[in-house]
Every structure is written in structure tokens, then in C-alpha cells.
């Protein structure tokens, strides 16, 4: 359900294009004012930001170029486990190993993209090949405990005794990362690469006839998006101080990211952030009803997607207004302004 | 060795039957039923609950299978209607996400109400000697059931009017409509049938090992892989793919180890997609 609202003419004021990001950042920066007293609350919102970053990266791959990567968790996990293993085994500082691991994730993502493009796989087939990759990664994590800790997981030394283990500071580190990702997304959207993305997402045959190198741009999106995933996953590992087999599992990352993005609006700038915010709040509300959480999650998912019938973003904007009501900070205004609707 | 092969074959037939249910629904309506495994588990749980209350086994099994047939029909008539109104990629994506939600709901209900429920159907009698190898009687009954149902399916699609109508909708929905076939009705019946097949798989699995209430996601993933390797929309392809993947899975699990075996299974699936994206049997 890609939205087609990005074909508006470029704005006169270049800075205006980044205003929604600034607004969202401002709102998110205020969150620790009420959550800052509680360490567990800060963990919840920081994890929420992590998922927002995952969703922005996934949006670049799926929303912008239509490649259904069902290995978001695996790519983040390559970054996370990669960085932890390199830093803790070789004694390198985690600031060095995180970009290394992100490059590794990027390599895998670009390779998957390359395969999908070379074999001209459509959405479903790309989804299934990447799902197979994700499940293989999971089996690898469980099957090589001497490297990954298997079911017991790994304690992470890299990042200990830094501000990443403070209660409030990591939130702003993750917020910074998210803002950087959003700016990258926006810059790409506004460049010639963004035009190519939109053209090939809407109709790749036509885009190819118009002289766009579809393969190159798809692989580019897969590569950049996967590096973002790897970097986020690595930062999350050093922040939590622990990585285990469920940290990056398909069920705990991919499903959530997909639902968050679809909820927020596939292919929109702030959709991923909005989706992550709403589902983080919802998770927190349901924390005492752990037994029925999955059930409620399912019911909400079904209701959400049913209300998409007339096309994603308009129905979505209304649905969000109805569902979230008053206690949600205003990124949705920015998001609706951004998509040129409302 | 022969015993391992036969275990693999039984598993493969079950995989194949799961894949067939998934592939039919996808071929007809473009819906990737991500709740397929969960539907199988529903059948098992209904049967298990009834048996706990003292219902006769055969009756409980029939009720379990019928309950997922009904579930399939209801899902098709309600949730899937907006999906069928969409076109191409939008339809696929919406169907996939909705069924993902349905899968959550089923898993959520099972986790909430019946977290430790499990179905086992004990087939009485000792092992049977086949070619000098002792085989569990449950395995034999399970493969016989799936063999018969599979054969019936293939005959059904080849020789009955409704079966032919189904294949014509898979080939070309508009063309079938012009010939006076109602694609909506065909889809509803096949969604129900697909649920029933999932239920049968669950029952045959319960003959060799207990089916637990959390088995749904794993079954869905197997069904998905099998359907894709067999070529989405192809019944005999799904069966063949199921048998091959079942053998690969069991043999590598026996000789190498579980974790490596699931990697091998997934790699086999991925490489089939890459080498023959149209499926094993389909001509390019």
C-alpha cells in the first residue's frame, strides 16, 4: 500500500522539508521530562526509539523501493552480535566495532537485494527469501553457542561504564541516531535518487524504460537501509549490555516493525516514528495483561488494516486520530502535513 | 536408515498437505494465509478439548476438522472481502497483513486459554514390519490418510466441474467470470477446504507426536516454504516440494543436527526460489 503523495512539486524553502523532523525531534526530546524518573520507563521509551530507527531503515528498503525484507531483525542482529563479538574478543573500542558491524550488515543487505534484483523476485518471493535468511540467522545464533552464547546469550562488555549505561543519556543518543536516519531519508527523497526510487516503486518496467538503472537503485536502498539496521542493532546491544537469541528474533523484531510501519504509513517520512510511538504506548498499557497481549495486538492489527481500504494514508490519519485520542504527542500533524494530506 | 527415510516421507507428506492448502488460497485470491498453521492448531485444540470431555475420538477429530472448515469460510466471507476488492500488490500485502493479524489472534487466544493443551491420537497396536523395518503404526495411518486425501484432491481438481472451475479461476479470474463461474464462491469453498486440509494435517501429526497449542507459527513457516518451493498455485508441486523438504529436514537432522538441518532446509528453499522461481514443476 504505497502512498502516491510524493509527487508534489519541490518546495521553495529547502529548510521547510526538514521542519517535520525538527518538530518530531522536539516532541520526542521532551519525553524524559515525565519518564526520566523511572529507569524502567526510560528503557521502554529508549527501546521504542530503537524500533523507530529500525522502522525508518525498513521504510527505506520496503517503503521507498518496494523490497519486502523480512530479515530486519537478522540484519540488526548481524550488527549487534557482530559488534559485540568483535569488540569483546579483540578488545577494540565499541565506537570502532559498531561501524564495522554496520558495514557487515550492509554487505548482507546489499547481497540480498542483489539476489532479489538479479532473479527479479516480486514482493512475496523477496519476502520469503529474506525470511529464510532471517530464520537461518536465528538457527545460527542458537546453533553456535561458542560464538553467540546460544540460548544463554552474551553479556556485553563494550559500552560498560560509558554514558550508554546511564538511565537517561542513552535516550538522547538513540534520538540523535533516529534524527540522523530521518535526515538521510529526507535527503535521499529530495535528491535524484529519491525520484528514481519513486519511479521504480510505482512501476519498475516504466522506470527502467525511462533510463533508470532499477537494479542499482534497489541495491543502493538495500545497502543503506541494512547499514542503518546494523548500526541500530549494534548500538542497542551496547546499550542493553546483553544480547540473546530473542533480541533480534523474527517474532520480536520483524513482525513489530512491519506492523508499526504499516500503521504509521508506508513510504511516509514520519510514519515509522508515529507507528513506533503508538505501539510503544500500547505495549506499556498492556503490560499488566501479558496473557491477552498477543490477542489484543492481533485484534488491533486486523482493525487497522481493515480501515485502510480506501488507500493507506487518509484512512490511516483518521484511524490514528480516532484511536490515539488526546494522549499522543503531535508528530501526526507533522506527518499529515508532510504527506500533503489534511 | 530406512526408518529415517520413512519418517522423512511422513513429515514430507504432512508438509506437502500444508503447502497445498496455502497454495490454493494464494492461487485463487492472492492471499498468503499467514495463519495457516494456527488454523491447523485450532483443529487439534478443538479435538483435544472434546476428547477431554469424553467425546469419542472419531467424533472429536471430525468436529475439529469441521470447525476449521467453518473458520476458513467465515474468514473468507468477512475479513477477506475488502482484500478481494484490491488489485495486484495491494491485495497481496493487505491479505498478508490481515492474516498475520488473524494468526496473532488465534495464537493469543490459545496462549491465554489453553497454554498447555496438546492433542495426541494414540493409534493402538505395535509397530508394523515393512521391508524388514519396524515402523510405528501411527506413521502408517498418518501417511495413508494423507495419501488418500491427496489423491482425492488431485482427482477432484482434474475431473470434477468444481475442481476445473477452481483451476480456471487460478489461471484467469476475469476469463472464468466470463464463463459464468463465480470466483467469490469458489474462493470461499477453497478457503474452507484449505482450513480442512490444515486440520487433517494436525490430526495426522497428532498420531505420531503431540500437537501443542504453540505449534502454529512453525507450521505456517513450513507451509509457506513448501508452497513457494512448489510454485505458488500448484497442487502437485506443493506435494513434491513437501516430500523433498521433509526428507531433507529429517535426514540432515538425523545425520548432522537440528540447527544445521533447519539452515539446510531454509537454504534448500531459498536456492529453489533462486534457481526455479516458477516452482519445481512449472515450465518457465
pLDDT digits (tens, 9 = 90+) for B24-35: 998 888 888 999
pLDDT at A335 (0 to 100): 39
Confidence of residue A289 (pLDDT cuts 50, 70, 90): confident
Residue range B215-244: mean pLDDT, rounded: 85
pLDDT at B106 (0 to 100): 94
pLDDT at A143 (0 to 100): 84
3-state secondary structure of A319: helix
Q: Is residue B250 part of a domain?
A: yes
Q: Is residue B280 part of a domain?
A: no
Is A302 part of the contact surface with chain B (CB cutoff 8 Å)? Answer: yes
Q: How many structural domains compose chain B?
A: 1
Per DSSP, the residues of A51-101 read HHHHHHHHIIIIIHH------HHHHHHHHHHHHHHHHHHH---HHHHHHHH
Strand partners, B133: B130
CB contact under 8 A, B101 and A251: no
Residue A314 scores a pLDDT above 60: no
Residue range A314-330: mean pLDDT, rounded: 56
Residue A224 scores a pLDDT above 90: yes
Contacts of B82 in chain A (CB under 8 A): 306, 309
| Cα gap B214→B235, rounded to integer Å | 27
ipTM: 0.80
Confidence of residue B59 (pLDDT cuts 50, 70, 90): very high
Q: Is residue B206 part of a domain?
A: yes
**H and E: helices and strands count for chain B:** 12, 4
CB contact under 8 A, B90 and A1: yes
Residue with the larger pLDDT of the pair B256 and B132: B256
Q: Is residue B229 part of a domain?
A: yes
Residue A259 scores a pLDDT above 50: yes
Residue A12 makes CB contacts below 8 A (sequence gap 6+) with: none
**CATH code at A279?**
1.10.3470
| Cα gap B250→B246, rounded to integer Å | 6
Yes or no: say if B134 and B128 are a contact pair by the CB < 8 Å rule.
Answer: yes
pLDDT digits (tens, 9 = 90+) for A43-74: 999 999 999 999 999 999 998 888 989 999 99
CB contact under 8 A, B111 and A291: yes
Strand partners, B134: B129
Yes or no: say if A284 and A82 are a contact pair by the CB < 8 Å rule.
Answer: no
pLDDT at A315 (0 to 100): 58
Extract the C-alpha cell encoding A90: 579483540
Residue A329 scores a pLDDT above 60: no
Question: Domain residues for B261?
Answer: 2-275
Residue B148 scores a pLDDT above 60: yes
Yes or no: say if A335 and A274 are a contact pair by the CB < 8 Å rule.
Answer: yes
| Cα gap A130→B16, rounded to integer Å | 22
pLDDT digits (tens, 9 = 90+) for A111-156: 999 988 887 777 777 888 898 889 889 888 988 888 888 888 899 8
- Give the phi and the psi of residue B53 in degrees, each rounded to 5: -90, 5
Confidence of residue A326 (pLDDT cuts 50, 70, 90): very low
Considering only CA atoms, which of B35, B100, B95, B91 is closest in space to residue B68? B35
Q: Is residue B97 part of a domain?
A: yes
Q: How many structural domains compose chain A?
A: 1
Question: Domain residues for A102?
Answer: 5-28+38-338
Which residue has 508528530 as its cell numbers? A331
**H and E: helices and strands count for chain A:** 17, 2
pLDDT at B109 (0 to 100): 92
Confidence of residue B113 (pLDDT cuts 50, 70, 90): confident
Over pLDDT 90: what percentage of chain A?
40
Residue range B116-123: mean pLDDT, rounded: 84
**CATH code at B170?**
1.10.3470
Min Cα distance B275 → chain A (Å) is 8
Q: Is residue A33 part of a domain?
A: no
Contacts of B112 in chain A (CB under 8 A): 291-292, 294-295
Q: Is residue A85 part of a domain?
A: yes
Extract the C-alpha cell encoding B191: 478457503
Instruction: Classify burial at A301, counting beta carbons within 10 Å of its beta carbon; exposed 0-12, middle 13-18, buried 19 or more.
Output: buried
| Cα gap A36→A169, rounded to integer Å | 10
Considering only CA atoms, which of A207, A257, A205 is closest in space to residue A62? A257
Is B228 part of the contact surface with chain A (CB cutoff 8 Å)? Answer: yes
3-state secondary structure of B4: helix
Strand partners, A155: A242
Extract the C-alpha cell encoding B145: 490418510
| Cα gap A131→A72, rounded to integer Å | 9
Q: Is residue B27 part of a domain?
A: yes
Write the CA distances from B55 to A179, B48, B51, B68, B208, integer angstroms.
60, 9, 5, 18, 21
Q: Is residue B283 part of a domain?
A: no
pLDDT digits (tens, 9 = 90+) for A176-185: 999 999 999 9
Q: Least CB-CB distance to A132: which of B98, B260, B270?
A: B270
| Cα gap A239→A111, rounded to integer Å | 28
Considering only CA atoms, which of A266, A316, A259 is closest in space to residue A282? A259
Q: How many CB atoms are located within 10 Å of the residue B47 CB? A: 27
Contacts of A133 in chain B (CB under 8 A): 266, 270
Amino acid at each position: 500500500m504505497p502512498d502516491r503523495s510524493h509527487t508534489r512539486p519541490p518546495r521553495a524553502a529547502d529548510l521547510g522539508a526538514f521542519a517535520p523532523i525538527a518538530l518530531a525531534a522536539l516532541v520526542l526530546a521532551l519525553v524524559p521530562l515525565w519518564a526520566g524518573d523511572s529507569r524502567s520507563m526510560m528503557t521502554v521509551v529508549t527501546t521504542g526509539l530503537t524500533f523507530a530507527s529500525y522502522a525508518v531503515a525498513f521504510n527505506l528498503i520496503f517503503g521507498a523501493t518496494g523490497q519486502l525484507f523480512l530479515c530486519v531483525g537478522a540484519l540488526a542482529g548481524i550488527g549487534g552480535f557482530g559488534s559485540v563479538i568483535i569488540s569483546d574478543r579483540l578488545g577494540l573500542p565499541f565506537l570502532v566495532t559498531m561501524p564495522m558491524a554496520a558495514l557487515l550488515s550492509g554487505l548482507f543487505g546489499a547481497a540480498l537485494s542483489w539476489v532479489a534484483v538479479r532473479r527479479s523476485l516480486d514482493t512475496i518471493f523477496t519476502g520469503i527469501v529474506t525470511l529464510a535468511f532471517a530464520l537461518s540467522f536465528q538457527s545460527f545464533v542458537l546453533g553456535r553457542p561458542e560464538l553467540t552464547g546460544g540460548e544463554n546469550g552474551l553479556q556485553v562488555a563494550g559500552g560498560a561504564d560509558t554514558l550508554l549505561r546511564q538511565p537517561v543519556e542513552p535516550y538522547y543518543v538513540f534520538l540523535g541516531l533516529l534524527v540522523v536516519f530521518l535526515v538521510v531519508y529526507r535527503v535521499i527523497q529530495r535528491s535524484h535518487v529519491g525520484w528514481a526510487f519513486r519511479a521504480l516503486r510505482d512501476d519498475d518496467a516504466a522506470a527502467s524504460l525511462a533510463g533508470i538503472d532499477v537494479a542499482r537503485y534497489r541495491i543502493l536502498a538495500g545497502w543503506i537501509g541494512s547499514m542503518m539496521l546494523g548500526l541500530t542493532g549494534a548500538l542497542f546491544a551496547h546499550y542493553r549490555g546483553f544480547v540473546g537469541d530473542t533480541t533480534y528474533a523474527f517474532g520480536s523484531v520483524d513482525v513489530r516493525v512491519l506492523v508499526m510501519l504499516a500503521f504509521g504509513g508506508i513510504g511516509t517520512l514520519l510514519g515509522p516514528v508515529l507507528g513506533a510511538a503508538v505501539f510503544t504506548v500500547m505495549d506499556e498499557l498492556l503490560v499488566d495483561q501479558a496473557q491477552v497481549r498477543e490477542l489484543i495486538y492481533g485484534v488491533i492489527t486486523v482493525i487497522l488494516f481493515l480501515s485502510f481500504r480506501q488507500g493507506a494514508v487518509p484512512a490511516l490519519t483518521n484511524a490514528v486520530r480516532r484511536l490515539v485520542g488526546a494522549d499522543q504527542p503531535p508528530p501526526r500533524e507533522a506527518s499529515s502535513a508532510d504527506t500533503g494530506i489534511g | 536408515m530406512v526408518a529415517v527415510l520413512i519418517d522423512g516421507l511422513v513429515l514430507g507428506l504432512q508438509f506437502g498437505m500444508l503447502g497445498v492448502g496455502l497454495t490454493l488460497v494464494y492461487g485463487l485470491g492472492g492471499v498468503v494465509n499467514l495463519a495457516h498453521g494456527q488454523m491447523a492448531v485450532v483443529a487439534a485444540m478443538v479435538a483435544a478439548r472434546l476428547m477431554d470431555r469424553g467425546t469419542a475420538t472419531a467424533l472429536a477429530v471430525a468436529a475439529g476438522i469441521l470447525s476449521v472448515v467453518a473458520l476458513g469460510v467465515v474468514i473468507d466471507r468477512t475479513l477477506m472481502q475488502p482484500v478481494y476488492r484490491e488489485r495486484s500488490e495491494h491485495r497481496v500485502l493487505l491479505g498478508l497483513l490481515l492474516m498475520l493479524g488473524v494468526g496473532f489472534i488465534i495464537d493469543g487466544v490459545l496462549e491465554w486459554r489453553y497454554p498447555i493443551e496438546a492433542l495426541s491420537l494414540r493409534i493402538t497396536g505395535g509397530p508394523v514390519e515393512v521391508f524388514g523395518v519396524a515402523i510405528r503404526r501411527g506413521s502408517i495411518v498418518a501417511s495413508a490418510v494423507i495419501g488418500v486425501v491427496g489423491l482425492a484432491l488431485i482427482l477432484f481438481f482434474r475431473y470434477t466441474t468444481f475442481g476445473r472451475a477452481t483451476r480456471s479461476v487460478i489461471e484467469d479470474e476475469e476469463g472464468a467470470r466470463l464463463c459464468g463461474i463465480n470466483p467469490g464462491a469458489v474462493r470461499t469453498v477453497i478457503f474452507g477446504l484449505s482450513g480442512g486440509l490444515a486440520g487433517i494435517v494436525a490430526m495426522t501429526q497428532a498420531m505420531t507426536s503431540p500437537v501443542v497449542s504453540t505449534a502454529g507459527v512453525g507450521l505456517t513457516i513450513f507451509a509457506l516454504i513448501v508452497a513457494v518451493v512448489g510454485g505458488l498455485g500448484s497442487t502437485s508441486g506443493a506435494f513434491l516440494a513437501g516430500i523433498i523438504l521433509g526428507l531433507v529436514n529429517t535426514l540432515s537432522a538425523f545425520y548432522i543436527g537440528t540447527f544445521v538441518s533447519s539452515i539446510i532446509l531454509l537454504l534448500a528453499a531459498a536456492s529453489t526460489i533462486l534457481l526455479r522461481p516458477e516452482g519445481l514443476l512449472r515450465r518457465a
